[in-house]
Structure 1
């Protein structure tokens, strides 16, 4: 009987933690990372090629993301979605500088990369 009660208790605690984690905000706030990544689609060519011109729409989206959820950009760049899209994180991390965004997190680490 005690063993059964312990199992039920452990299950309830584990399921509550699971549901709290699902409802919690991540690096991108309540926005799913897939949506954040999709919003950055104007940046695709610039995230693959350092010589590609960064479109103004990309700069606008990146600037907005940095001001609302600065850690989200890093999370998107290091996500499996970015890898599937052919994004090179070492190049993509330079986009805020190439856009001349002043409030970027220069000097901060994003995985193994440092924001220029």
Structure 2
């Protein structure tokens, strides 16, 4: 629970910083940033820290949606927001597989990690 509170506070901070700056188009499009998209993955907080934690349906739904754009999903998993929330990128990249998403980007290189 404490981790979730920290994550939500961090997300609020990132939103304020993002609103204050003008962003160019990036991995997740013109209207958003990986840090902003990371807020949508709040239901994945425990699953991104512990590979044995169950992955909620709401987490899987958001990962499936972001997975339609693998570069955005990757950028979100490696974002500052995800890191500051305590997410372990090596564990986070396993979430699409743990959700049994058939259309996940298997083999996609995500920084030093490969999506299983």
Q: How does 1:89-108 map to 2 (within 5 A)?
A: 89-108=89-108
Tell me: higher relative CO, structure 1 or 2? Use CA pairs within 8 A at least 6 residues apart: 2
Q: Which moved more, 1:23-32 or 1:80-89?
A: 23-32
**Long gaps (5+) in structure 2:** 1-21
Q: Which has the higher helix share?
A: 1
Aligned equivalents of 2:67, 2:107: Cα separation in 1: 14
Aligned residues: 94
The TM-score normalised by the length of structure 2 is 0.76
Residue 88, structure 1, aligned to residue 76, structure 2:
no
The TM-score normalised by the length of structure 1 is 0.76
Match of 1:10 in 2: none
Q: How well do the aligned residues superpose, as a CA RMSD in angstroms?
A: 1.2
Structure number with greater Rg is: 1
Q: Which runs of 4+ in 1 moved over 4 A?
A: none
**Long gaps (5+) in structure 1:** 1-21
